[in-house]
Chains A and B, each alone.
Chain A
Amino acid sequence: MTSAAPTQNIIMEGDAVTRLTRIIGRVLLYLLLIVMSLWFLAPLFWMFMSSLMPLDQVGVFPVQWIPRVWQPENYTQALEFWNFGTTFRNTMFIAIVSLIGDIGSCTIVAYGFARFRFPFRDTLFLILLATLMLPFAVRLIPVYAAYDAIGWIDTFYPLIVPNFFGNAFYIFICRQFFLGIPQDLLDAAKIDGASEMRIFTQVMIPLARPAIVVIAILSFQNSWNDFLGPLIYLKDPDLHTLAIGLYKFTSLPGQGGIYNQQMAASTMMVLPVLIVFFLFQKQFIQGANISGLKG
């Protein structure tokens, strides 16, 4: 007993040291996480705070975080300049129709790739993946020229119609999901005499709901955020989307200085996305993950 005591003591001391380093490590870890969170969130927090400030407070150096006077009228003034009602309606229209097109076409095509054998299927799927790597700059000009030739400039068609022909990435997501559904289930439906169309609409689609939610979110986010498309296809101010409206509002000569109203307008554009994000966080993260891992 007595001879064992010193070694035990040493072990105890060693434990205390490792525990101490572990605690220090943990403190540093959380400190780092907090610093990084501040880095990521400060710009958004400032957007919101400055949207409620009087104009002269926005330009103060070093930056101030709490409005001296709370000025919610920045929002109503921003709404006056920025054609929010029209741009919001246009954006919602484009987003919803595109979403219907994306979900419809991508589930149908993905089902074709996932559940049927046909010649060149794997080659075609490889082509599908390859189109993901084609730079948009290469497509831009001929597609624009074609829309111009058929009179689709200054209409919503260029922003909506392509979504009815399948998006490679969404098809990929959906196909992965379909492949995971057990074949037995389909065989059972077939034995019961269900047609392919019935199996698709009444068995597969309900089962694929998680994948469809991911696609719906990505599609909606895409329409809501799109800038280049509306920029080149929509010249008429009555057709402008939120993104273009916000851009015009912030870049008009003479309005370069009204930062508080610009931040109010930005907040109005960001808020719906944040709400959708908090409602469907899991699907957002899944959407990001599928692009990186599956397959």
Chain B
Amino acid sequence: MATAFGSQFSALRGRRRERWRDLSPMRKREAKMGLLFITPWIIGVLLFSLFPFVASFLLSFTKYNIVAPPKWVGLEHYVHIFTDDPLFLKSLRNTGVYVGGSVAIRIVLGFALALLLNAKVRFLGLWRTLFYLPSIVPIVALSVIWLYVLNARAGLLNSLLYAIGLPRFRWFADPDIAMIGYLIMSTTWVGVTMVIFLAGLQGIPEEYYDAAKIDGANVFQRLLRVTIPLMTPTIYLNILINIINAFQVFTQVFIMSDGQGGPRDATRTYVLHLFDHAFQYLPPQMGYSSALAWILFMIIFAFTAVIVATSQRWVFYQGSEANS
């Protein structure tokens, strides 16, 4: 998808824009048919993307509780968020821990597993299926299961730690390590990243490795000089997608902490905080929540922009300048 962006951009740059009145009658007919086919999406993007995007920006400057019409309050919410909402910073920090930890886990573990499976293992399909399996489990069921995996008294993880002679932890009962519980749980979705990496690895031509071998490169040199550079577009894309998603972590935290983000707000994530204001407060604070949403949007946008901007330095596109 990242490369899709690249190629779309270059397509835009390369071609002179066609104007409607310059088109021949036949091309006009073709254009009309095309627009007719994409009409459902145009309506959809106006209703479900553009309208809410603009509306939530405007609502962020109002007091709005759904029942009464919105009342303009200017920058009041933003001032309040930055000066008088301790849970804003706390939820941001919790979310930061989740983003950093879970993205690292998914990229590193996903890549490592893909490398293992790419080492000409037998029953490749079977292993891939087994690793991918947990990520298709509905998140509600997963949350119910992991509440028990991380149960302080008799959970699976503590049983494992006990069996190999390590100390046990109180996980979700201990505010200092409660977020770590969600990081461990996030290994569940490593299979998705692994599958994507594996397909990328399988696309690297064998000749590259043969050439490196002839030049006397050992396994690690081949990994560092051949595999990783060729995989940078896929790594880049996965970092991007996973960061965007991780910032919005909500469902498992909502279910497992029963909407509270406990203990003592130690697992209150940003979206949970925002959801709280919009849907759990009485009366609902939809305006305040919209301001929180827009701050989140700006944060995600900034991260995306930085990653995209720095990508030129470390993302390597094979044999073409088209995407750089």
Contact = CB atoms under 8 A, between A and B. Distances in A.
Contact of B41 (A40, A109, A262): A109
Interface string A248-278: 0011000000010011011001100110010
B249 to A, nearest CB: 11
B148 interface: yes
Nearest to B149: A43
Nearest to B187: A39
Contacts of A288: 132, 192, 195-196
A224 B141 CA distance: 11
Contacts of A93: none
A39 B127 CA distance: 13
Given A33-B116, A291-B241, A135 B37 contact: no
Contact of B119 (A29, A133, A164, A289): A29
B214 interface: no
B47 interface: yes
B290 interface: yes
B274 interface: yes
B196 A291 contact: yes
A141 B289 contact: yes
B279 interface: yes
A136 B300 CA distance: 12
Contacts of B258: 251
A285 B198 CA distance: 11
B44 A166 contact: yes
A141 B60 CA distance: 10
B139 interface: yes
Interface residues of A, number: 98
Interface in B129-152: 129-134, 136-141, 144-149
A178 B154 CA distance: 53
Given A138-B293, A165-B44, A165-B47, A227 B1 contact: no
A251 B144 CA distance: 9
A125 B19 CA distance: 18
Q: Report the contact-size class of chain B (Cβ under 8 Å from the partner).
A: 35 or more
B162 interface: yes
B49 A269 contact: no
B141 A129 contact: no
B33 A116 contact: yes
B18 interface: yes
B234 interface: yes
A195 B23 CA distance: 21
A196 interface: yes
Given A135-B248, A141-B293, A221-B136, A47 B145 contact: yes
Interface in B216-241: 234, 237-238, 241
A122 B12 contact: yes
Given A117-B31, A164-B40, A292-B234, A41 B134 contact: yes
Contacts of B59: 141-142, 145
A127 B45 CA distance: 9
Interface in B104-145: 113, 116-117, 119, 121, 125, 127-134, 136-141, 144-145
Contacts of B251: 227-228
Given A44-B133, A142-B56, A137 B145 contact: no
Interface core residue of A126, A164, A224 (most chain B CB under 10 Å): A126
27 contacts: A29-B119, A33-B117, A36-B131, A40-B188, A47-B141, A62-B158, A62-B163, A115-B34, A117-B18, A118-B31, A122-B8, A122-B11, A122-B12, A122-B15, A125-B8, A135-B296, A137-B297, A139-B48, A140-B293, A141-B52, A165-B45, A166-B41, A232-B279, A250-B255, A263-B144, A273-B136, A288-B196
Interface of A: 29-30, 32-33, 36-37, 39-44, 46-47, 50, 58-63, 105, 108-109, 111-113, 115-129, 131-146, 148, 162, 164-166, 171-172, 196, 221, 224-225, 227-228, 232, 242-243, 246-247, 250-251, 259, 262-263, 265-266, 269-270, 273-274, 277, 281, 284-285, 288-289, 291-295
Given A122-B12, A135-B244, 5 more contacts: A39-B187, A112-B36, A140-B52, A291-B241, A293-B199
